[in-house]
Amino acid sequence: MAKKPTGKNTSGRGQRDLTVKVKTARGRKLSSTRWLQRQLNDPYVARARAEGYRGRAAFKIMELDDKFRFLVPGARVVDLGCAPGGWIQVAVPRINALGEKKGKAVGTILGVDLQEVDPIPGAEIHQLDFMADGADEQVKAWLGGEADVVMSDMAASSSGHKQTDHLRIIALCEAAAYLSFDVLAAGGTFVAKVLAGGAEGDLQQLLKQKFTKVHHMKPPSSRSDSSEKFVVATGFRGGRVAEPKEDEDPEAGPLG
């Protein structure tokens, strides 16, 4: 019987320091052998399997929430690009979606993804292109109102070209951010994956305009050789994004 995920961070408990070596099989690329060896020797992969999570990414949202505390009982959460569901597994007990914490508010979590995702107790999961017209209204309809948290661990398929991959990640993060502006309640939180350098340029300025605080963090469970980081924007201000007037130069500084 599979172990039920608790949403608790058990880092450092019962880990073994063993190294598994993988020989390159005939017909298998060296890169595939290295990936397999890394997986077999990754303590977070082993923890995910032992603790019943669908992937090692579950520990990233644990560590982010342990620091910023946005997955609280009663929270209404939207997980964009939720497959395979590890982030949802962590969120369900933390927001008390199953009502197991007596005396605590019961939260709601909605997962959306382009592909079908296996059900998770306590969560509502739908197939949806969140960038399609009307997706924001559909999300709010499913959620039954505004969200307290919008989170995204989405990453575009790797092209092998670092700059191209960076631009694709930022584009996904921007799209997720704009949806969050439409569905978040005042005071809400936006969490998303970016690459090294954080949320850059226009996105960085936009998040600072829309939220009271914008943080960047590389969780301990994020591989050291990965350029991924996460942006955590807290204190959503609400309202529309201010746009420059027609006769106003957006590049001009203050006069005088």
In this prediction, residue 200 has a pLDDT band, given cuts at 50, 70 and 90, of low
The CA-based dihedral angle spanning residues 79, 232, 103, 2, taken in that order and rounded to the nearest 10 degrees: 50
Residues 33 and 135 in one domain: no
User: For the whole model, what pTM was predicted?
Assistant: 0.79
Residues 30 and 110 in one domain: no
Which amino acids are annotated catalytic? 193
pLDDT of 248 over the 50 cut = no
> Is 142 annotated as contributing to ligand binding?
no
Q: Which domain holds residue 42?
A: 21-51
Residue 176 structure tokens? 């997720």
Residues 27 and 116 in one domain: no
pLDDT of 15 over the 60 cut = no
Structural domain includes residue 37: yes
- Mean pLDDT for 119-136 is 96
Q: How many CA atoms lie within 13 A of 37 on its CB side?
A: 14
Residues 90 and 120 in one domain: yes
Percentage of the chain exceeding pLDDT 90: 57
- Mean pLDDT for 134-161 is 89
pLDDT of 83 over the 70 cut = yes
pLDDT of 11 over the 80 cut = no
Residues 152 and 204 in one domain: yes
- Mean pLDDT for 152-174 is 79
Most confident of 43-47, 89-93, 217-221, 246-250: 89-93
Residues 74 and 113 in one domain: yes
> Is 85 annotated as contributing to ligand binding?
yes
> Is 113 annotated as contributing to ligand binding?
yes
> Is 129 annotated as contributing to ligand binding?
yes
Percentage of the chain exceeding pLDDT 70: 75
- Answer whether 191's CB lies under 8 Å from 230's CB: yes
**Per-residue pLDDT at 199:** 56
- Mean pLDDT for 201-221 is 91
Provide the H-helix boundaries in 53-210: 58-68, 86-94, 135-143, 162-183, 201-210
Question: Angle at the Cα of 167 (from 162 to 171), degrees rounded to 5?
Answer: 150
- Mean pLDDT for 97-126 is 97
- Answer whether 171's CB lies under 8 Å from 124's CB: no
Residues 124 and 172 in one domain: yes
Domain boundary among 10, 31, 51: 51
pLDDT of 40 over the 60 cut = no
β-bridge partners, 195: 228
**Per-residue pLDDT at 238:** 86
Query: What Rg value do the Cα atoms of the chain yield, rounded?
Result: 20
Q: How many domains does the chain have?
A: 2
**Per-residue pLDDT at 5:** 84
The contacts of residue 89 (CB under 8 Å, 6+ apart) are 5, 7, 52, 53, 54, 58, 120
Residues 117 and 101 in one domain: yes
pLDDT of 244 over the 80 cut = no
**Per-residue pLDDT at 245:** 43
Distance CA 148, CA 72 (A): 10
